[in-house]
Chain A
Amino acid sequence: MTANRPRRRGRSDDGSREAPMVPRADFTSYYGRPVLKAPVWTDDIAYYFFLGGLSAGSSLLAAGADLTNRPALRRGTRVASLASIAAGAVFLIKDLGRPARFHHMLRVAKPTSPMSVGTWVLTAYGPAVGAAAAAELLPRSWRQRRLGRLLDGLARPAGLSAAALAPAVASYTAVLLSQTAVPAWSEAHEALPFVFTGSAMASAGGLAMIVAPVSEAGPARRLAAFGALVELAASRRLETGLGLVGEVFGTGRAHEELSRASTLTAGGLLGALLLGRRSRTAAVVSGAALLAGGWYERLGLLHAGVASTQDPKYVVVPQRERLDARGRAGAADDHLA
């Protein structure tokens, strides 16, 4: 079938609107087969990214609520932070090829591996979040006992430690994706951390708008709105600022998920700004939209990366251009010499 034409000549004349900005993709490959292995990570990893960001943003809100005396906001965000990081950890472990060996992550601390860095950040972060939330979850009858008083006293320092680590929890995942050979993720290394932290702020703010009364949720609305703006801007940059590989953010399943994410996030942003202050119902609906936006954002990022490994052009074309440019520069140098 293809035996007589092993050299696939791919062309980017699919009529996509990016075409004028992107160099023509004339390239050679081995029977059109992928050069790279597709990531083996499943959607579980996207769920973890979402939940980790949600927890991180919630920890920041909880610390702020604690310091500014907003008890309902504090309580809701502390519990949300623990619940989401615990659920995230489950997805993280479930996605391993050998889940029973998850503790092998704790054998080494390796600065060249963002996953190892993240493991240790989470190891410090998880218990801090747990201690802060434990104080909130304590049955009333326990509060006067010694354990209850100890937990109460620990809650603020634990919550502040969690908040200090939270930005790292929300952003290390961007480096984790970027430090791969996956073209879409590595090319996106400038924008990706802002997508992750922006989305973390938006979803945590959204959840806080759901769990806290309108009267205490002012900071949550402001954080959600700022986060949503950052997420939308950074996410836009993925589609338009990355050259050829930007295509994968604008096509297929990733495109569907990312546009759904943008619509939901933008809707949530407007709701939070215009109506979040006036009505609890509007706050809940806007918060839910922001959460769903963050959820789809992570799924879209995952699937864009997978798509960029499946077509060899995203590997071959940029590398070939780089190589040829270097060859031309070398030839020019030789000429001058």
Chain B
Amino acid sequence: MTLDNRLSGPLDDVAGEAGHTGHPPRMGFFTDTSVCIGCKACEVACKEWNLVPEDGLDLLGMSFDNTGSLGASSWRHVAFIEQAPVAVPDAAPRAVDLPMPSFTRPGDGTGAETRSDFRWLMSSDVCKHCTHAACLDVCPTGALFRTEFGTVVVQQDICNGCGYCVSACPYGVIDRREDDGRAFKCTLCYDRLKGGLEPACAKACPTESIQFGPLDELRERAAARVEQLHGAGVVEARLYGESPDDGVGGAGAFFLLLDEPEVYGLPPDPVVPAKMLPRMWRFAGAAAAAMLTAAAVAFAGKGPR
């Protein structure tokens, strides 16, 4: 294990690396947005189970999304994107035949010519539980820790609200609850996992858009799903956060998206800040050495006293 792999890059056994022995397999989420119907049952189930407080009842004027973004009191966030179909570079015919439970498709009754040129993307966002978690790297109290399931959780009795994790997260997930002072985020229902249950959001999801399970298994399932969608002509289907070669060493919660990540408010190429840490310390070391030298020279000078 090189220092590089400890700060960034692929890491096979995250829980083992954190010191857990005889731990269960790494668990995670695969959120297949192609079957998300935007019901927000995940948001509600999360709030109910985790007793997450209300965080502002606003009408944001953004489609059906009045949650806005993930935050200290929103651990699942369903994004709604209304858009005209994007031009697909390969010029493949656009498929509308998403393999869904057997319902009649909108417009079927009246004929294809009446369908509008429009699509709706819905996606339930969540903490990515990164292989190399920036929040965990920078937490100076040890409040954030890596669980035996490979997930990342804040211990609320330890967090002193320093706010470093908030600035560190490349996905803008974790935030400080202002009236409380501490940082909060998705725990991947650590308590439920301990009890052998699946997380509340996955349990509540009616279309299995949110799938929970061992990460290896989810990756296989996701690869098969992408192949299936590509076969059906949905060439824009792509996985996000699944690759261990990405900037955070792969996410524990990854996604199947139907457009570029930034369309959903996700960073296109997030990188864990610690990747550059040795380089940053080298520059700081040079600046520190210059300061020490300058002070010595200032006193050594033969000039006026």
Contacts and interface: CB of A to CB of B under 8 A. Distances in A.
A41 B161 CA distance: 10
A97 B176 contact: yes
A291 interface: no
Interface residues of A, number: 94
Given A30-B262, A33-B69, A200-B291, A219 B168 contact: no
Given A70-B305, A104-B141, A115 B265 contact: no
Contact of B305 (A115, A186, A200, A218): A218
B103 interface: no
Nearest to B169: A181
Majority DSSP secondary structure for residues of B touching A = mixed
Contact of B267 (A105, A277, A316): A316
A30 B81 contact: yes
B277 interface: yes
Point out which of B138, B158, B181, B299 has the most chain A C-beta atoms below 10 A from its C-beta. B299
B92 interface: no
A108 B142 contact: yes
B291 A181 contact: no
Interface stretch (B30-38, B202-210, B280-288): B280-288
B194 interface: no
B303 A218 contact: yes
Interface in B261-305: 262-270, 273-274, 276-277, 279-281, 283-292, 294-299, 301, 303-305
Contacts of A189: 276, 279-280, 283
Interface string A1-28: 1111011000000000000000000011
A215 interface: yes
B117 interface: no
Contact of A64 (B7, B62, B63, B298): B298
A97 B68 CA distance: 23
A2 B62 contact: yes
B292 A60 contact: yes
B53 to A, nearest CB: 15
A3 B64 CA distance: 9
B269 A323 contact: yes
A193 B284 contact: yes
Contacts of A143: none
Contact of B299 (A68, A116, A277): A68
Interface of B: 7, 61-63, 68-69, 71, 79, 81-83, 134, 137-143, 158-164, 166-176, 180-183, 260, 262-270, 273-274, 276-277, 279-281, 283-292, 294-299, 301, 303-305
